[in-house]
Amino acid sequence: MDIMQTTTHPRPIGHAGFSLTELLVAMAITTIIMSATMAGLADVMKSNDLIITLAQINNSLRTGADLMIRDFLQAGSGLPGSHAATIPSGTGSVAVRIPGPPGTSWTMPSGSLVMPAVMPRAGAGPTINGVATDAVTVLMADNAFLEIPLTAVTDSSVTIRATTLGANPQAIDLQNGPDRVVDGQLMMIKKGSWNTLVQVTNVNYTTRVITFANNDSLRLNQTGADNGNLKALNEEPPTYSAANTSISRVRMITYYLDNTTQPQHPRLVRRVNNGHDETFDNNVIKGSAVAIDVYDLQFTYDINNGTGNPSSVQMTAADMGTGGACSPNACGETQIRKINLRLTARASNQQVSGVNRFIQNVVDSQVSLRAMAFVDRYQP
């Protein structure tokens, strides 16, 4: 009888596999490592997003602040020593308009004889996140079109000379280049010590006549007013001559916030003159947005009034009266020598994880108004 024998051969080591327990442990370790890696990657991506958002905020702040500083440095330049330009007043006059944000209709205060180089609007801008924002308007002459001689002045127009005066006369091209004049621009006509601010309504490039007709968008041209217009200028001494009569282009620049056009992204707006040559409508004419996601705009002013010289004055109604920062006197716009600005931007759609707060940044700056703060003691 044959007996069958069975021999068991051990499995080669190279063919060995994982047990179920080993496999589960390995998967658990891999899951932990991958979770940590993905969490770290998510944090890196979140940090990158925050850095990009903060960079965008800072760029917006820098752009807005740089433009304001540039314009403020020129405020009052080319204007008379009073730091103001004459506007229509008296019997037959109506209030001159000032540009502003949507929903506003600002005008010069009743009885105003001049338009100062700096016009504060404390708390008159839109209220954003419970804070009333400020606005400001500044005037300066355009050095590219400064004290151009005239050959004639009527009650509603002037005629420009073909060349400048002096030993080396230069051609004045009203249609091209830096001398170009178009409807809607502001001009200051000077004769001797008198001046008036007007708005261009028509230019005849052939006859070189610039017209300032009634019903301009800012209501600067008022031939029926008793004072402050071209008619009153012509009546004042001295008698007209090319040597004592000139025209200069003036820029009116207004800064304010607009939270109406894009409510979720308030804009810092820079508006030159009215922004339109014929129509005045703050709901339609909105200037140029120079910064986005700006949630606060605040101004204070340093004043030289010959006595206490108060600083950081808000120029509120109380300050402009006799019970404010300049008490017992009233603070005046023409006394302003420095502008302190604060601009706040915030990322409206990006919150810091874990603290439920928005990313925001603030820029503060102080600007000395060169034409109003510095005096050349050697100049006669």
| Residue 115 belongs to domain spanning | 53-373
- Residue 160 covered by a domain: yes
- Residue 121 covered by a domain: yes
- Residue 42 covered by a domain: no
Residue 22 has φ and ψ, to the nearest 5°, of -65, -40
Q: What is the pLDDT of residues 137-156, one digit of tens each?
A: 999 999 999 999 999 999 99
Q: What share of the chain is helix, strand, coil (3-state, %, to 5)?
A: 20, 30, 45
Greater pLDDT, 41 or 35: 35
- Residue 15 covered by a domain: no
Q: In Å, how far are 6, 7, 8, 368 from 3, measured between CA atoms?
A: 10, 13, 16, 116
Q: What is the pLDDT of residues 253-301, one digit of tens each?
A: 999 999 999 998 999 999 999 999 889 999 998 899 999 999 999 999 9
Q: Give dist(CA 184, CA 277) in Å, integer.
A: 4
The mean pLDDT value of the chain amounts to: 88
Percent of the chain topping pLDDT 70: 87
- Residue 174 covered by a domain: yes
Of 8-17, 84-93, 227-236, 272-281, the range with the lowest mean pLDDT is 8-17
- Residue 271 covered by a domain: yes
Q: What is the pLDDT of residues 292-346, one digit of tens each?
A: 999 999 999 999 987 788 999 999 999 999 889 999 999 999 999 999 999 999 8
Residue 355 is predicted with a pLDDT of 47
Name the domain count of the chain. 1
- Residue 332 covered by a domain: yes
- Residue 226 covered by a domain: yes
Of 43-52, 95-104, 172-181, 236-245, the range with the lowest mean pLDDT is 43-52
Q: What is the pLDDT of residues 5-19, one digit of tens each?
A: 555 556 555 556 667
Q: Give dist(CA 155, CA 223) in Å, integer.
A: 7
Task: Report the SS3 class of residue 75.
Answer: coil
